[in-house]
Structure 1
Amino acid sequence: MTVEVGMQASDFTLEANNGETITLSALKGKNVVLYFYPKDMTPGCTTEACDFRDQYQQFNDVNAVILGISPDPVARHQKFIEKYGLPFLLLADEDHKVAEAYDVWKLKKNFGKEYMGIERSTFIIDKDGKIVKEWRKVQVKGHVEEALQYIKENLA
């Protein structure tokens, strides 16, 4: 089963970089920006994370929580956060079960090699826990601004 706009978001519980356990359903009442990214400390992922960091207050102003998810372990997430001053939580999906539930764990090809990994994707989940917008195969440039604009126009 894949998730789609209009569906209840698949609930999950994952460990965050700060040692807390985060359960999606516990965030009802807030808008959630759930973004999946391939790997900490890589160029595209760093740019995306820093774009979210730079717009963090504006997301906060529209009652939106930003959560980043990748297969990296908690310790690597914490280093990424410290290096770039990220003010939001990163969640460790080491067994990629959440990525699979959101249908973002895909066969990828790079320089002739095939491997399984995260397809950069973002989901906007409303205060009732419903997916109201999705972006798949995200191009980083301008994406964070587009996500913020969507929330301002539709959920604020």
Structure 2
Amino acid sequence: MRTTIHARYVPSMEHRSVRGSERTSPEQFAAWLRKQLERRGYDLRPRGGGQTRFIKDSGLSAGTVSRMLSGQTTTETRTLQQLADALDLPLGEVLVAAGILSAGELENVRSPQPRHTPMTPEQAADELGIVDPHKRELFINMTETLQRQRATNGGTHTAEN
């Protein structure tokens, strides 16, 4: 099963450190892509025809493939999804190779760590981005009502905390 990450645009592929995990640079992504294509029999030498054949096989534009292979950025997730499909790789692997996610971030998405303490209604509102004061108050009141109802009914499910 592929991990699908929904977003129209993702951050640029500049080399940076995130929570101690290194992301790849555009040049590293270009080298990774060349290796993937060569493994699949695409001859990328000048006049080898491999780049043209991959463009046809993948449905990606010539400019897009050229930019990726030359180490220029590509931030369109649809393009990276199309690349993943063409290479028959999980999107997550391509996002890591492209420097969009670090390997650690991808692992956190795939296997999130459970919370040790229950989240407060206020924290949940923050996490959900509820900033409108009226909507926030409504959310917090409803959550607290559900928590009291759970306590009254003797619920034991962690998700109900």
TM-score by length of 2: 0.22
Higher RCO (CA 8 Å, separation ≥ 6 residues): 1
More helix by share: 2
In our comparison, the structure showing a higher alpha carbon Rg is 2
More strand by share: 1
